[in-house]
Amino acid sequence: MAQQSFSAKILDLSAGSRIAVLNIKDAESLGVVAWDRIRIKGSDERGAAALVDITKSIVQEHQIGLPRVVAQELTVVDGDSVSVQPIPPPISVRYVHDKMRGKKLGREELYSIVRDVVDRNLSEVEMAAFVMAEQYQGMDDDELLWLTRAIAETGTRIDFEKPVYDKHSIGGVPGNKVTLIIVPIIAAAGLLIPKTSSRAITSPSGTADTMSVLAPVEFSGQELRKIVSKINGAIVWGGGLNLAPADDAFITVEYPLQIDPEPQMIASILAKKLAVGTDFMVLDIPTGEGAKIQAPEDARRLGNRFIEIGGKLGIRIRCGVTYGGQPVGHAVGPALEAREALQTLEGTGPASLVEKSTALAGMLLEMAGKTSKGNGQELAREILQSGRALKKMKEIIEAQGGDPNIKSDQIGVGAYKQSITATADGYVTHVSNTAINQIARATGAPGEKRSGVLLYLKRGHKVTKGEPILDIYAERQSKLEQAYSLVAKLQPITIEGMLLEEIPEF
């Protein structure tokens, strides 16, 4: 097909990043119409595929409009020359269609889809179609194994030459900052735990978002090996390591769809564990109203599936079904959660956070043979309460380029604040994960790190009229107002009196 040269014009766009804008006359010259596919090449010879949009005015003739993300992939700036060539859809698009119709995909078909995601041959629309097919058609165990291996093998692999331990959560519960407690406990026990984490998909803060408040989280594989070989632990963003790059691409379409399909979730987690050579893993499955998994039997089914698939991949897995009916701890949002994690390491954190963190850490310590079965939590508590975990966390923060001397009360939060108070005496009978998530995201979290929500009371606590029950923090007044407007609509906290009804005498 014909190839032409164009001058790049960088567009200040982030959504729809797989769109390239052509002047109508250039589109006619190339023989393309809106939604046709083109390959663009700049200094990066791999190039990138994009779908065509057409304009009469946004770009001039012989210009091509490129969203920032595409321009960065191609390493081009305004005015650089790029070549453009019409291309047909790759064969993997047919396999996406097959999955949408409920067909079981084979190894080569799934590898083809993943390779085309990594090679930028699939558009965001096509990746979204595949993710939606996973959501509604599901995958059997064979498909899951092939998908997991394909995601792992198309990215960087890191060999630590020692047994590797890991902890992961399926997410879905706001405020789940336990990784920042568990990693230093395990590292302080002398075990290797190179924790790679994702940024938030559906929550107000992922582990990488929270850790980024304390230290940089983007490193190369060689840099991660150096950090972990020195101090046993790290908490970094997996996307910066080129571990399972296909998964990070899928996350970009899961985020606006607000979904996390079970097959993609399992493949995502296990592929990243394969990539860093994980031998032993504890998986946290929060369960309850408002969590991803609401029924205990569903949690057990998912846990058994992880254990079975993990075993076939050479990863020993223990699953902890944990209470997920309300936020973990009291803080929701990157800075607020980082502050609460440090408070816990300093010895002043909430009991629920200590309980969950030490229970999961204890399971890993038992798997490592550091203590007998049933005694792991006690050992984890001792490491936490002795200050060894705090000392190790300071080492991790310093190794990743942060300030090791930072204290919890030095972490800044949003300058704009609104307190919500109780309108009556009573007891907290319900805290809605869904509502807390929506309100915290409305503040700007996780993108605006100092934004979020702080809960004063949780289920079962007594409250008096006028007592603060919730604080909203934001970096911008407009975001604070948006979040505050959701409170009355969503009712994140339910307060009821003990007397439900009076039945009068005759």
Name residue 282's beta-bridge partners.
Answer: 167, 318
Name residue 428's beta-bridge partners.
Answer: 495
- Residue 463 · residue 427 · CB < 8 Å: yes
Which of 241, 239, 238 lies closest to 223 in space, CA to CA? 241
Name residue 38's beta-bridge partners.
Answer: 50, 86
At 82, is the secondary structure helix, strand, or coil? strand
Name residue 37's beta-bridge partners.
Answer: 51
Which of 150, 348, 387, 185 lies closest to 264 in space, CA to CA? 150
Annotated catalytic residue 116: no
Q: For 372-455, where are the E strands, in sequence order?
A: 416-421, 426-431, 452-455
Six token digits for residue 283: 């998986």
Is the omega angle on the peptide bond into residue 492 within 30 degrees of 0, that is, cis? Answer: no
C-alpha dist (Å) from residue 329 to 25, 287, 379, 429, 482: 58, 15, 22, 17, 24
The one catalytic residue among 260, 284, 409, 471:
260
C-alpha dist (Å) from residue 326 to 86, 352, 429: 51, 11, 11
Return the H-helix or E-strand segment holding 124.
helix 124-137
Q: Please give the Cα distance from 201 to 59 (Å, whole number).
A: 33
Q: For 112-238, where are the E strands, in sequence order?
A: 165-169, 193-197, 233-237
Characterise 452 by phi-psi region: left (phi > 0), alpha (psi -120 to 50), beta (else): left
What is the residue whose two structure tokens read 């934004």? Answer: 451
Name, in order, each residue with C-beta under 8 angstroms of 505's C-beta and a sequence gap of 6 or more: none
Annotated catalytic residues are 260
